[in-house]
Amino acid sequence: MIQLQAVEKVYRTDTIETVALAGVNLEIAEGEFISIMGPSGCGKSTLLNLIGLLDAPTGGQVALNGTLIASYRDQDVAPIRNREIGFIFQSFHLIADLSVADNVEIPLLYRSVSAKERRERALAALDRVGLSSRVHHFPSQLSGGQQQRVAIARAIVGRPRILLADEPTGNLDSQMGDEIMSILHDLNQREKTTVVMVTHDLAKAEQTARTIRLFDGRQVN
Amino acid sequence: MLASYLRLALKVFGRRRFFTAVSLFGISFTLVVLMVAVAIVDHVLTPRAPETRQDRTLGLYFASMQGKHWGWNSEPGFMLIDRYGRGLPGVERMSIFSTPQDVPAYLAGTRVNFDLKRTDGEFWKILDFTFLEGGPFTSDDVDQARFVAVLNDTSRRRFFGDGRALGRTIEVDGQRFQVVGVVPDVPRLREVPFADIWVPLTTAKSDSYRRELMGGFLGLFLARASEDFPAIKEEFRARMKRVELTDSHYDSMVAVPETPAERLANRIEVGPRRGVIGTDRQGRTHVGRFWAALGLLALLFMLLPTVNLVNLNMSRIMERASEIGVRKAFGATAGTLIGQFVVENVALTLAGGAIGLVLAAAVLRALTASGLIPYAQLQMNGRVFLWGLGLAVIFGVLSGAYPAWRMSRLHPVQALAGGGR
């Protein structure tokens, strides 16, 4: 499903070169639920961004569904992100001026989907995360856990095969964190969605099938 | 998608009321100025009574006599039009009339000045005046030098109050005329028909005008169709090469019949570069350049508020970096995002345009009521509205496109981190 070969990411300025990732080889099968762990600054989020095609590697190759990503031009990767990948962020990144339902509809705006169908699918996604009673609320009217559930609904509304979650429970208390983990597990088991989760939390990592550990931009056992 | 963008735009504008108010003020003020200018140009150039056949008329407004050391630019003289303007190909009717002369009259012992125009009988056949009383004087009246006059409505009220004027006598510039007709006021901006009082050419105090090549008269040519204009101009230009000049200081004459737009271009164009956008020294007209110059002027006028709005938009859009990151992550391309933010900006500009339209209508009403431009009837009409709408859209796209383009280039990872690079 996801293959990384000798992937590296180096940030260069005129005077300094920072190696964020080096020599990462990774293969994630369809329907897997894996976690990425490591100390702050070890390259976890960078790795997730490369898998999510939000950033281009400076070396190595990334393939999704057996297709090598040859071009990182906006118009080439945007449709892949739209169809194949759903993102869940630590700080939710909901748009404050949009209602819950409008937030959830966002990925469908970039497909040929009618307004009616967009609304129906957004309501179904919200129902899936147990928030059908908050459709017309605004993000500021929701708790952190509820906001993250809206973010999950937004991530799954386009029925992507891959969910990338960057510290999805990082801003939540343990009870809400457990709820979010439970939703992710449910999506993984019932829908066979591939989930890649970055976390600091060993307990959460242990709930996944496999853990990738990073240290100073390198994969460690 | 559009509805979603507009809903979001409304929310953003509502949340940032100060920004919205400043933007709306800048947009509406700019558009008011431009729409008033458009309304004035519209007032001058569009066919309206009595110039209902304006699309078929050419006017001879300007002549230029050149010599080795001398130059004389002015309106043409009677002789130039009379001798060289008759029998042009494709011309159905032709009229010669004077420019308005400022003449005094004494009303109840008080001196009042009027604009008096001396015309031939054809003047009334080419122009389509509506008569409130009586009718025009005829070619026979002109031939017989009858002292008859047509008044405009304001002059009638000045001379006779609320009473009828037909058959009564007025005295202007030391001459007495019998009123044969009364017409509605004609705006001063309509150069060809405008006057307070019209009288026959032949009632002039002296007939010396008949021997003048330069000064004091205009010619009006009614073509069978506008397609005849090039041939008419060409023939007139050719005739100018054969003009018998009566003054040895000069050796050439340039004059060409012009459309109202060409005339306006020449009136606006002044100074040593005359000929660049109007009629050049060879008598060729460049009205396309005139419209381009007007368009450029409008763009330059919009530039400053556009730059201001661009700056406001930059800060507004950069505050929404996180939203841009999310949209990119979920599949928005740079082009889509540019579209979204331009739509938002055009929506804001259209709102400003709507306010501008209302304000411009009020300014035009006030201008008309003030009498600053005599007899002007400036008003908001469909054409001015469409121009205003068009300008608002151009303004919106100009001020929205650059910030949107900058924003669309944000890297998604950095946008999600909350800022640009």
The complex's ipTM works out to 0.94
Closest chain B residue to the Cα of A107, Cα to Cα: B330
pLDDT at B273: 47
**Residues of A whose CB is below 8 A from B413:** 49, 54-55
Closest chain A residue to the Cα of B11, Cα to Cα: A97
B19 burial level (CB within 10 Å; 0-12, 13-18, 19+)? middle
| Chain centroid, CA A126 distance in Å | 17
CA atoms within 13 A on the CB side of B385: 7
| Percentage of residues of chain B with pLDDT beyond 70 | 95
Here the contacts of B79-82 (C-beta below 8 Å, separation 24 or greater) are B79/B210, B79/B211, B79/B212, B79/B213, B80/B212, B80/B213, B80/B214, B80/B217, B80/B243, B80/B253, B80/B255, B81/B217, B81/B218, B81/B219, B82/B210
Rounded-to-integer distance, Cα A33 and Cα A177, Å: 17
| Prior bond of B50 cis (ω within 30°) | yes
pLDDT digits (tens, 9 = 90+) for A62-117: 999 888 998 999 889 999 999 999 999 988 999 998 999 999 999 999 998 998 99
Best residue in B326, B336, B410 for a mutation probing chain A (most A CBs within 10 Å):
B326
Alpha carbon of A138: minimum distance to chain B alpha carbons (Å): 12
Does B365 score more than 80 pLDDT? yes
Taking alpha carbons only, the member of A47, A39, A1 closest to residue A21 is A47
**Residues of A whose CB is below 8 A from B8:** 95, 97-98, 102
Q: Evaluate whether B238 touches B283 at the Cβ level (below 8 Å).
A: no
- pTM over 0.80, yes/no: no
**Residues of B whose CB is below 8 A from A105:** 4
pLDDT digits (tens, 9 = 90+) for B205-236: 999 999 999 999 999 999 999 999 999 999 99
Q: Is A74 on the interface with B (CB under 8 A)?
A: yes
Q: Evaluate whether B414 touches A46 at the Cβ level (below 8 Å).
A: no
Alpha carbon of B342: minimum distance to chain A alpha carbons (Å): 17
Averaged over B54-78, what is the pLDDT? 91
Averaged over A31-59, what is the pLDDT? 93
- The answer to whether A55 contacts B11, with C-beta atoms less than 8 Å apart, is no
pLDDT digits (tens, 9 = 90+) for B310-334: 888 888 777 888 899 999 999 999 9
Q: Is A166 on the interface with B (CB under 8 A)?
A: no
Consecutive H or E run containing B72: strand B71-74
Q: Around Cβ B92, how many Cβ atoms within 10 Å?
A: 15
Nearest to A107 among B12, B325, B330 (CB): B330
Alpha carbon of A52: minimum distance to chain B alpha carbons (Å): 8
A71 burial level (CB within 10 Å; 0-12, 13-18, 19+)? exposed
Nearest to B323 among A49, A95, A154 (CB): A95
Does A29 score more than 50 pLDDT? yes
Provide the chain A residues 15-34 that lie in CB contact (below 8 A) with chain B. Answer: none
pLDDT digits (tens, 9 = 90+) for B277-298: 556 656 566 777 778 888 888 8
Q: Is B56 on the interface with A (CB under 8 A)?
A: no
Split at pLDDT 50, 70, 90, the class of A8 is very high
Q: Is A6 on the interface with B (CB under 8 A)?
A: no
Taking alpha carbons only, the member of B92, B120, B103, B148 closest to residue B218 is B120
DSSP result, A147-196: HHHHHHHHHHTT--SEEEEESTTTTS-HHHHHHHHHHHHHHHHHS--EEE
**Residues of A whose CB is below 8 A from B329:** 52, 54, 81, 87
- The answer to whether A158 contacts B335, with C-beta atoms less than 8 Å apart, is no
Q: Is B332 on the interface with A (CB under 8 A)?
A: yes
**Residues of A whose CB is below 8 A from B323:** 95
Q: Is B280 on the interface with A (CB under 8 A)?
A: no
**Mean pLDDT over all residues of chain B?**
88
